[in-house]
A and B are shown apart, each in its own frame.
Chain A
């Protein structure tokens, strides 16, 4: 396990390094990056000044090392709009985004399991057909369009759920000021955005669980369990489902990162005060350092989560760390 841990850790460091390299050198794709930091009407003196201030007149390698140095000290540059540290702006918005992602993930995994298992058991029936048709449709629509449809029909027409607004959960929990009475309201506000983000994953997971179950159900050990007179429920849950879950655990690990990248559009649709909307506004205002900081923070979380999931996975399935 120690050897595997060391190897995985080394890989993660390489990936984080790769991410910083990409996010830094992306700035140079359009030529002199100074022009990304000044307004269109800036005079030549202003441009020269900014270039000097940001160090773009120095050799590229030196600039990159300076960028990495700042990164290690938690300095990702200042936002062009607010002139405050970009990292602070991102971290401030992170709890709202995490609430949304965690909730969407719970939704997509917890619903996908019964749908996938039942579809596999009732293979070829109307229930299976309907479930898979919905799953296919869920994988085929853009999440933000689903969001817009939910706003139009569930929010505005039926007035069942709020279409905007956010009641914080994580922030008060961290501060120790959390009041359980606000939870129902917080969940009501979470519902539509979380469904919007979660439906694609829900559909994919349901299909995956179904096909994984279909692969395990005819296996010999399942037949053996059945022939020794076990109840069908136990056969399905203890013998077939457990083994069918192995490929699904990996998928769920990757899922979090996927959901995280979905928040950019969905938060915009629901005016959710998270990192996603921050990125959207930064894009519109050409606030490059802020976009860059968000990308780096998201990637970092993504890499950490992948590492974490892989370690759990290696613990569960010895074959992984032996290979």
Chain B
């Protein structure tokens, strides 16, 4: 389900005028972006949520009230607001092993965001590189790269991920690698289409005529001009990778159970459902939803900001 949010995105974003920096690079561009954020209410809300999540991911150990892995079998499945004999409040309750849910959620932010960003980093790098090469050189190289991409798109990605992870076993490294490889196709397609549109522009001709090498033209001339739609894609993509990670963790194929993750907590919560221990399931899901929602909202805003013609679509 990883690449599901993206199809409507990339194709809809034509690159702006040739030779112009389209990403928010120069200071005035940043200021314009900031003002646009303040005007629209939802993206600002999203930015605040992401700020909180990033803060928790970075400083989890410093702000979490308790050790997220410490078990207390005498106070299992206590509801939110539970106060133990020492007068310590567990304000989101405890899980089936008596661990503090609030602390586990804080640690979970770290895994979700790290996996999301790392997988998108890997997939994006591979995809953009192959897309630039395919679009710039064309011919047989282009054909081969795009046929491989077609094969991968014609195949539900999560199944491949399951197959590979069953063989390789659990582990953050394996998970990031598999999720990353699942993402490259969309980047490659967009990067290729944009590169083809750019390669006959005057500024590329100019670079070539002064003797710039192919790699210099690709990375220094073309790449800055096609980066905008790729950034938008990446922001939606981190969201869908976080969802995929949660699904795989839920299946027991993600991060080892000793590390607290939102998907893993949901997986564990299933046993407590019939007992009515709702807090085991509600809070991790809310965290996933808020994070993914925030990334989607930011992606929407970014797309509109970079291409005002699409506003409100």
Interface residues of A (CB under 8 A from B): 11-12, 14-15, 18-19, 22-23, 26-27, 29-30, 33, 36, 123-124, 136-137, 139-145, 148-149, 151-152, 156, 200, 204, 207-208, 211, 214-215, 251, 257-258, 260-262, 264-265, 268-269, 279-280, 283-284, 286, 288, 291-292, 294-295, 298-299, 302-303, 306
Residue contacts A-B, CB under 8 angstroms, 27 given:
A12-B154, A15-B150, A29-B167, A123-B312, A124-B312, A136-B296, A137-B293, A139-B292, A140-B239, A141-B285, A141-B288, A142-B250, A142-B263, A142-B285, A144-B250, A145-B281, A145-B285, A148-B269, A200-B1, A258-B4, A261-B156, A261-B158, A264-B247, A269-B270, A284-B252, A294-B159, A295-B160
- In angstroms, Cα B288 to Cα A279, docked, is 24
Q: 19 new A-B pairs (CB below 8 Å) besides A123-B312, A141-B285, A142-B285?
A: A12-B154, A18-B155, A136-B297, A141-B288, A142-B246, A144-B246, A145-B284, A148-B270, A148-B285, A151-B273, A156-B274, A215-B313, A251-B7, A257-B156, A258-B4, A261-B1, A261-B157, A284-B252, A294-B159
B156/A258 in contact, CB under 8 A: yes
8 shortest A-B CB distances, which residue pairs? A145-B285, A140-B293, A261-B156, A140-B292, A18-B151, A141-B289, A261-B158, A211-B313
- Whether the pair A288, B281 counts as a contact (CB closer than 8 A) is no
In the bound complex, residues from chain A placing their C-beta under 8 Å from that of B157 are 261
Q: With contacts A137-B289, A148-B281, A149-B285 known, is A302 near B168, CB below 8 A? A: no
Q: Which of the residues B156, B269, B278, B289 comes within 8 Å of A302, measured between beta carbons?
A: B156
Judge whether B4 and A283 touch: CB under 8 Å. no
CB-CB < 8 A to A136: which residues of B? 293, 296-297
Considering the complex, give the chain A residue whose CB is closest to the CB of B278: A152
B1 touches A26 (CB 8 A): no
B148 → A minimal CB distance (Å): 8
Q: Interface residue count for B (Cβ, 8 Å)?
A: 50
Q: Is the beta-carbon distance between B154 and A306 smaller than 8 angstroms?
A: yes
Q: Is B163 an interface residue (CB 8 A)?
A: yes
B154 contact from A15, A140, A151, Cβ within 8 A: A15
Chain B residues near A22 (CB-CB < 8 A): 155, 160, 163
Chain B's nearest CB lies how many Å from the CB of A166? 18
Query: Is residue B253 within 8 Å, beta carbon to beta carbon, of the partner chain?
Result: yes
Report A-chain residues with C-beta under 8 Å of the C-beta of B83. Answer: none
Instruction: Report chain B residues within 8 Å CB of A26.
Output: 160, 163-164, 167
- The answer to whether B33 has its CB under 8 Å from any CB of chain A is no
CB distance from A25 to the nearest CB of B (A): 10
Chain A neighbourhood of B8, CB < 8 A: 207-208, 211
Q: Give the contacting residue for B313; candidates A200, A214, A260, A265; CB below 8 A.
A: A214
Minimum Cβ distance to chain B for residue A213 (Å): 10
- Looking at the assembled complex, report how far the CB atom of A306 sits from the nearest CB atom of chain B, in whole angstroms: 6
Main SS of chain B's interface residues? helix
Known A211-B8, A284-B252; contact A299-B293, beta-carbon cutoff 8 A: no
Chain B residues in the interface with A (C-beta under 8 A) = 1, 4-5, 7-8, 147, 150-151, 154-160, 162-164, 166-169, 239, 243, 246-247, 250-253, 263, 266, 269-270, 273-274, 276, 278, 281-282, 284-285, 288-289, 292-293, 296-297, 312-313
The answer to whether A283 touches B1 (Cβ under 8 A) is no
A30–B170 CA distance with the chains assembled, in angstroms: 12
How long is the Cα–Cα vector from A152 to B243 in the complex, in angstroms?
21
**In whole Å, how far is B37's beta carbon from the nearest beta carbon of chain A?**
17
Quick one: which of A15, A260, A283, A302 contacts B166, CB cutoff 8 A?
Answer: A283
Give the dominant DSSP class at A's interface. Answer: helix
Select the residue from A26, A200, A306 with max chain B CB neighbours within 10 A: A26
Taken together as a complex, chains A and B put the C-alpha atoms of A288 and B164 apart, in Å, by 11
B151 contact set on A, CB distance < 8 A:
14-15, 18-19
Please measure, in the bound complex, the distance between the C-alpha atom of A30 and the C-alpha atom of B266, giving whole angstroms: 29
User: Are the CB atoms of A144 and B313 closer together than 8 Å?
Assistant: no
Q: Give the residue of B166, B266, B297 whose beta carbon is less than 8 angstroms from that of A144.
A: B266
Q: Looking at the assembled complex, report how far the CB atom of B128 sits from the nearest CB atom of chain A, in whole angstroms.
A: 23
Cα distance, A11 to B252, chains bound together (Å): 34
Q: Which residues of A contact B1 (CB under 8 A)?
A: 143, 200, 258, 261-262
User: B169 to A30, Cβ gap below 8 A?
Assistant: yes
Report yes or no: A30 in contact with B168, Cβ–Cβ below 8 A: yes
In the complex the two chains form, is A36's CB within 8 Å of B167's CB? yes
* Chain A residues whose CB sits within 8 angstroms of the CB of B162 once the complex forms: 264, 279, 283, 291, 295
- A269-B155 Cα distance, complex, nearest whole Å: 24
Chain B residue at smallest Cβ distance from A286: B166
Indicate if the CB atoms of A142 and B288 lie closer than 8 Å: yes
CB-CB < 8 A to A265: which residues of B?
A: 247, 250-251
B4 touches A204 (CB 8 A): yes
Which A residues are in CB contact (< 8 Å) with B251?
A: 264-265, 268, 280, 283
Q: Judge whether A200 and B166 touch: CB under 8 Å.
A: no
Question: Which residue of the partner chain B has the closest CB to A128?
Answer: B312
Query: Please, which residue of chain A has its CB at the minimum distance from the CB of B247?
Result: A265
Q: Which residues of A lie under 8 Å from residue B168 when comparing CB positions?
A: 29-30
The answer for the CA separation of A291 and B289 in the assembled complex, in Å, is 29
A30, B8: Cα distance in complex, Å: 37
Bound: A151/B276 CA distance, A: 10
Which of B163, B253, B282 has most chain A Cβ within 10 Å?
A: B163
Using CB atoms, name the residue of chain A closest to B290.
A140
Complex Cα distance A143/B246, Å? 10
Chain A residues contacting B147 (CB-CB under 8 Å) are: 14
B167 touches which of A27, A139, A148 (Cβ 8 Å): A27
Q: Hey, which chain B residues are within 8 Å of A286, CB to CB?
A: 166
Most B Cβ at <10 Å: residue of A22, A204, A302: A22
Check B289–A140 contact: CB distance below 8 A. Answer: yes
A298 and B296 within 8 A (CB): no
Q: In the complex, are the beta carbons of B156 and A149 less than 8 A apart?
A: no
